[in-house]
Amino acid sequence: MSKAILGFSKLSKQEKINWLAQQHFADPEAATTLLQSYWNTDAEVQKLHDEFIENTVTNFYLPLGIAPGFIINGKEYTIPMAIEESSVVAAASKAAKFWSTRGGFKATVLNTEKIGQVHFMYNGNADKLKVFFEETKNEFFTDTETITKNMQKRGGGILNIELRDKTHLIPNYYQLHATFETIDSMGANFINSCLEQFSKTLREEAQLYTAFTEEEKDIKVVMSILSNYVPECVVRAEVSCPVEALNEDKNISPEEFADKFVAAVKIAEVETYRAVTHNKGIMNGIDAVVVATGNDFRAVEAGVHAYAAKNGHYTSLSHAKIEDGQFTFWLDVPLALGTVGGLTTLHPLVKLCLQMLGNPSAQELMQIVAVAGLAQNFGALRSLTTTGIQQGHMKMHLMNILNQLEATETEKQQAVKHFEKNTVSHSAAAEFVTQLRTIDKARIEEDFLQ
């Protein structure tokens, strides 16, 4: 029997759940109960969530943790992080504490330009197209005035529009390449609206341009869309202190730690296999704050990884050096973020997270997010070059293992104490819990016999 259904989107939420439960689960009642158990108890909040996307049946929760004690440009922040991976929030908090007594984090927004493009096909003389563009360029600005009016009042708008010849890549392929300033909004809707007007103006003005032949007038717009690659919307985060101040670990000298740390970063700069994992660790911190503040982590991920490969070789986003006895660790990362519009004004927890950060501007949020990425990278590299990554990670992961084993609270407490001095693994935890249960069973039987 086919499981396809017509008009699914027109069903009520309960009807969608009923169909889903009946068609895809051996126990429809249990599936329905589970889906409904994740609904928000506040009907208005749940209605809001239902309308974020199409065909909503329930909510999918991520833990929201906080990493307190971040000193950024002399100001203290408590950073919200929405993420499911164990040890991430703990590592960020530990890095925040470490650097809070060593000058804190410094962050600088290097640029804030965003990019959009109109991709089109033109079959004609390239020089005539260039002349046409220069003669009609002002029309693109004029025709978008109703769209850009409010953005211009806030200090943003269209910065520039260029004609780019891409015929060496695809025959007849050209672009209108535009740059934008969107102030505190991420700006996707604003940019795309401008681009669609550009495409309309392009086609209309081409039809009126008397120097074009009929074939040249027939410009075919393929698509108009913003780019999530924003190499001119970049923020730098950094930390620095004398090498001798890196004296946190008694098992390694500050000098040896600094040398190993810098070497680890340099390896990530030249070795792609390492760079990918290195940057994934950075994104643990970045994505967690991006999600918590209602921004688009997929767009950020795509843009960041393109930036990491901008020179033709995928490399580390962070860098480190020792000069004149001073240790410096820094990160340059492209971040197109917003603090107004989208989920930032709709999602209750997003609004709460932004309030927690002091209702930052988009540029301030860029700095906070970059610092979270650098802190995460520092924590990972510190573990890798000293105790090894698994010691801390697996101890944080222990609770997940114990939950899988359906351990009781008493068993969890005993297990946590046991693995303070023993290596954590799934098999070791399972064996320990089994031993506890065997001992408890023997005690119960003994008590019964007495």
**C-alpha–C-alpha distance, residues 139 and 210, integer Å:** 16
Q: What is the tens place of the pLDDT at every residue in 180-203?
A: 999 999 999 999 999 999 999 999
2 has a pLDDT exceeding 80:
no
Same domain? 141 vs 277: no
Q: What is the tens place of the pLDDT at every residue in 224-236?
A: 999 999 999 999 9
In a domain, 3, yes or no: no
In a domain, 56, yes or no: no
Q: What is the mean pLDDT of residues 93-113?
A: 97
Question: Who has greater pLDDT, 364 or 4?
Answer: 364
Same domain? 376 vs 239: yes
Host H or E run for residue 258: helix 254-270
Question: 227, 251, 275: which is the final residue of a domain?
Answer: 227
Same domain? 238 vs 213: no
Same domain? 100 vs 189: no
Percentage of the chain beyond pLDDT 70 is 95
Host H or E run for residue 17: helix 13-24
Q: Is 280 a catalytic residue?
A: yes
Q: What is the mean pLDDT of residues 158-173?
A: 98
In a domain, 2, yes or no: no
Same domain? 348 vs 382: yes
- Among 9-13, 145-149, 268-272, 413-417, whose mean pLDDT is lowest? 413-417
| Token pair recorded at residue 248 | 């946190």
Cα 20 to the center of its chain, rounded Å: 31
Q: What is the mean pLDDT of residues 357-373?
A: 98
Q: What is the pLDDT of residue 409?
A: 86
Residue 392 banded pLDDT, cuts 50, 70, 90: low
28 has a pLDDT exceeding 50:
yes
Q: What is the pLDDT of residue 404?
A: 85
Question: Who has greater pLDDT, 207 or 405?
Answer: 207
- Region for 292 from its dihedrals, namely left if φ exceeds 0, alpha if ψ lies in -120 to 50, beta otherwise: alpha
**C-alpha–C-alpha distance, residues 373 and 275, integer Å:** 14
Question: For position 218, which CATH number holds?
Answer: 3.30.70.420
411 has a pLDDT exceeding 60:
yes
The whole model's pTM is what?
Answer: 0.86
Q: What is the pLDDT of residue 449?
A: 61
Question: 173, 203, 227: which is the final residue of a domain?
Answer: 227
In a domain, 57, yes or no: no
Of 343, 336, 407, nearest to 369 by C-alpha is 336
Helix axis angle, 409-418 to 389-404, nearest 10°: 160
Q: Is 249 a catalytic residue?
A: no
Q: Let me know: does 303 contact 287? Beta carbons within 8 Å.
A: no
**C-alpha–C-alpha distance, residues 39 and 50, integer Å:** 10
Q: What is the pLDDT of residue 442?
A: 67
Q: What is the pLDDT of residue 86?
A: 84
Q: What is the mean pLDDT of residues 378-399?
A: 76
Q: Which domain holds residue 440?
A: 396-449
Which of 296, 347, 364, 397 is labelled catalytic? Answer: 296
Q: What is the tens place of the pLDDT at every residue in 416-447?
A: 888 777 777 888 888 888 888 887 766 766 66
Which of 280, 395, 412, 418 is labelled catalytic? Answer: 280
297 has a pLDDT exceeding 70:
yes
- Detail the DSSP E strand segments found in 266-367: 318-323, 326-334
Q: What is the pLDDT of residue 107?
A: 98
In a domain, 101, yes or no: yes
In a domain, 118, yes or no: yes
Question: For position 325, which CATH number holds?
Answer: 3.90.770.10
Q: What is the pLDDT of residue 112?
A: 96
Q: What is the mean pLDDT of residues 24-50?
A: 95
Same domain? 318 vs 293: yes
Host H or E run for residue 81: strand 75-82
Q: Let me know: does 363 contact 337? Beta carbons within 8 Å.
A: no
Dihedral over Cα of 311, 314, 319, 323: its sign: negative
Same domain? 244 vs 370: yes
Q: Is 76 a catalytic residue?
A: no
Residue listed under structure tokens 């439960």: 21
Q: What is the mean pLDDT of residues 313-328?
A: 98
Q: Is 266 a catalytic residue?
A: no
Q: What is the mean pLDDT of residues 111-137?
A: 98
Same domain? 103 vs 118: no
Complete edge-to-edge strand list for the sheet that includes strand 220-227 = 157-165, 173-181, 114-121, 220-227
Question: Who has greater pLDDT, 333 or 443?
Answer: 333
Same domain? 262 vs 377: yes
Question: 162, 197, 227: which is the final residue of a domain?
Answer: 227
- Among 113-127, 273-287, 376-390, whose mean pLDDT is lowest? 376-390
Q: What is the pLDDT of residue 393?
A: 54
Same domain? 254 vs 353: yes
**C-alpha–C-alpha distance, residues 420 and 401, integer Å:** 15
Same domain? 243 vs 303: yes
**C-alpha–C-alpha distance, residues 450 and 439, integer Å:** 17
Host H or E run for residue 77: strand 75-82
Q: What is the tens place of the pLDDT at every residue in 243-289?
A: 999 987 778 999 999 999 999 999 999 999 999 999 999 999 999 99
Q: What is the pLDDT of residue 388?
A: 64
Percentage of the chain beyond pLDDT 90 is 81
Of 231, 230, 222, 157, nearest to 196 by C-alpha is 222
Same domain? 255 vs 286: yes
Q: What is the pLDDT of residue 398?
A: 78
CA separation (Å) from 220 to 173, 179, 213?
Answer: 10, 22, 15
Structural domain count of the chain: 4
In a domain, 381, yes or no: yes
In a domain, 44, yes or no: yes
CA separation (Å) from 116 to 138, 150, 169, 256, 374?
Answer: 17, 19, 19, 47, 28
Q: What is the mean pLDDT of residues 23-39?
A: 96
Which of 13, 50, 85, 232 is labelled catalytic? Answer: 85
Residue 1 banded pLDDT, cuts 50, 70, 90: very low
